[in-house]
Structure 1
Amino acid sequence: MPKVSVVIPAYNSMKYLPETLESVLLQIFTDFEVLIINDGSSDNIVQWASEIVDPRVKLISQKNQGLPSARNTGITKAQGEYIAFLDADDLWEPTKLSKQVRCLDNNPAVGLVHTWMLLINEQGKSTGRVMESNAEGDVWQQLVEKNVIACPSVMVRRCCFETVGVFDRNLRSVEDWDMWIRIAARYPFAVIKEPLAYYRQLSSSMSKNCQVMEQAFHVVIEKAFQSVPQELLYLKSRSYGCANLCLAWKALQSMNRDYKLALHYRQQAIINYPKLRYSIEYIRLSLATRALQLFGTHGYSKFLELAYALRRRILSFAK
């Protein structure tokens, strides 16, 4: 049996999937299987997969059921002791699996290990921003307030899913956050403080997606606080505040750069959690929204290019 099962859900993802798979096959740790879950794609994924000669790579096709169900299929079919998740447009550093396997092997009580994550643009170029997290040990309180764990960075013991169940297939967004909260209620976490996963930021028509995401946030938060002790209920308003801050960013990152929607969600964030106005994320959001108002969509895109270039330079100096 392979030590690790890598689960890659794919729905019409051939634009990026070959590069994503290549980043897995370049891992220095080699005792793994790759389960690509074809979730009803209409592209040429079946033909492409039939030409892959590496026996560790398997294509599993199903009718379109959505991302949570595709991940659940991967969990069900996985043979590995550990399961790592990777979306079809994201990438890994070559040392990711080896460092995470070593961590779980050396810390048998840990249920999940994650890493820092570098943001890249649609062309795969670094934006210069690293999403850092120090969530380790008992992280439930930290995690229920805000999702600080990125799915492409995660490796989980398969036995965790036997304990807490699989992804909630009724959620159309933030299903990963729901899962991490459930695991965190039962297991300690570990973190490798290096950017070993690359998250590709893709523009989309976000007005509808924001509504879907808002509904999903509500479901996850209400579920998480169903049976918590009275002394922890203060975290609920913080959770809604951080969720609205996330939604504001999503509105700005949409194809139509909806700054009015971003302002709405920003206001909701402060109503729920007033102290957020002093956070770096809130200040960044406010500056970005103002820049979009001043410069327009085209000017804002140029502004982002300059900001990314500056951050890349700062990141290179830091190394």
Structure 2
Amino acid sequence: MPKVSVIIPAYNAMNYLPETVDSVLRQTFTDFEVLIIDDGSSDQIVQWVCELKDPQVKLISQENQGVSIARNTGIAHSQGEYVAFLDADDLWTPTKLEKQVICLDQNPSVGLVHTWMVLIDCKGKSSGRVMTSNAEGNAWKQLLEKNMVACSSVMVRRCCLQTVGGFEPNLNFAEDWDMWIRFSSHYPFAVIKEPLYYYRQVPNSLSKNIQVLEQALNLVIEKAFCSVTKELMYLKNHSYGYANLCLAWKALQSNCRDYNLASYYRQQAISYYPQLRYSREYMRLSVAITALQLFGTNNYSKLLELTYTLRRQILNFPNLSSINTFTIADKSTN
């Protein structure tokens, strides 16, 4: 039996999947299996896996049913004591699995361990901004407010999944947040305070995805607070506030970069949680919206690229080509 099962849901993901799998096969910890769940793809994934001829990599094909069911299929077929989740376009540093296995081995009460991260674009260029998280120990109240755990950074005990259950089948957005809320109500969390993976942000069509994301966030929040005590119900407005900040960033990150919609969600955020106007994230968002209004889409994109370049140079961030020695990623903001 492998020590770790790595689950990678894939739907027409061949643009990035080979690089993603390669980052797993380069791990310093080698006692693992890779379960790629082909969720009804129409690309060359079957042929590619056959040509790969790696005994650690297994392909499981199913009709297209969405990322939650794909991950649940992987969990059902997994054999490892620990389960790690990885999206088909994300990347790991070589020591990611090793450090998480050590953490779980040495802390038997911990059910989930995650790591820090940095954003890269579709071409693999890093924004140079580390996204940190302090969700550890009893993290339930923190996770009720907002998702502080990126899915591709997570390793869990497979036995804990039998208690918590799988990913919500009806969710294809924010399904990981729903899972972590449930997980944190049963088990302590641990975090490795190092940036151990790249999150690749690929701009999508705004009109469809942001509506589905908003519905998913609302569903997760309502579900999470349906059994919360009266003393903690004040956190519900906090949760809606942070959710609307997330939606505002998504409006800016879409192909059309809609600052009017971003401004709308920003206003919604502070209407739910007025104290957010003093947060660093709200201030960064406001600067981004203003810059987009003043400079227009093309110049705003150039300004972002200049900002990322300067940040990489100042902090001496590596290029994607040096992933075998060091990587970082950011999940949610420009």
Match of 1:78 in 2: 78
Q: How far apart, in 2, do the equivalents of 1:161 and 1:91 lie?
A: 24
Match of 1:216 in 2: 216
Structure 1 residue 211, shift from structure 2 partner = 0.6
The residue aligned with 1:140 is 140
- Paired with 1:228 and 1:314, the residues of 2 have a C-alpha distance of 45
Q: CA deviation at 1:207?
A: 1.9
Q: Mind listing any 5+ residue stretches in structure 2 that lack a counterpart?
A: 318-325, 327-334
Shift of 1:209: 0.7
C-alpha distance in structure 1 between counterparts of 2:136 and 2:33, whole Å: 27
Residue-by-residue CA offset, 1:111-144 (whole Å, 9 max, x unaligned): 0000001211111121101110011100000111
Q: 3-state SS of the aligned residue for 1:51? A: helix
Q: Which amino acid aligns with 1:238?
A: H
Structure 2 counterpart of 1:61: 61
Q: Give the 3-state SS of the residue equivalent to 2:122 in structure 1.
A: coil
CA contact (8 A) 1:207 1:251 kept: no
Q: Which residue of 2 aligns with 1:289?
A: 289
Q: Distance in 2 between matches of 1:90 and 1:162?
A: 26
- Give the match for residue 120 of structure 1: 120
Cα distance in 2, alignment partners of residues 28 and 185 from structure 1: 32
Q: CA deviation at 1:198?
A: 0.6
1:175-214 aligned within 5 A? 175-214=175-214
Quick one: which amino acid aligns to residue 139 of structure 1?
Answer: A
CA–CA separation in structure 1 for the residues paired with 2:160 and 2:197: 22
3-state secondary structure, aligned to 2:52: coil
- Residue type of the partner of 2:312? R
SS at match of 1:282: helix
Distance 2:178 2:228 in 1: 15
Q: Distance in 2 between matches of 1:71 and 1:254?
A: 26
Percent of paired sites with the same residue: 72
Match of 1:174 in 2: 174
Contact 1:113-1:190 at 8 Å conserved across structures = yes
What pairs up with 1:82-97 in 2 under 5 angstroms? 82-97=82-97
Letter in 1 for 2:223: K
Cα distance in 2, alignment partners of residues 215 and 31 from structure 1: 39
One-letter identity of the residue aligned with 1:9: P
Q: Does 1:108 align with 2:105?
A: no
Superposition deviation, residue 168 in structure 1: 0.3
- How does the TM-score come out when normalised to structure 2? 0.94
**Residue 303 of structure 1 pairs with residue 324 of structure 2:** no
Q: What residue identity is the alignment partner of 1:49? A: V
Which structure has more RCO (C-alpha within 8 Å, separation ≥ 6)? 2
Aligned residue number for residue 312 of structure 1: 312
C-alpha offsets along residues 184-209 of structure 1, whole Å, 9 cap, x if unaligned? 00000000000001100111102211
Aligned to 1:158: 158
1:172 CA drift (Å): 2.4
Alignment coverage as a number of residue pairs = 319
Alignment-derived partner of residue 23 in structure 1:
23
TM-score (normalizing by structure 1): 0.98
The match for 2:321 is none
Match of 1:242 in 2: 242
CA RMSD of aligned residues (A): 1.2
The one-letter code sitting in structure 2 at the alignment partner of 1:229 is T
What amino acid is the match of 1:274?
A: P
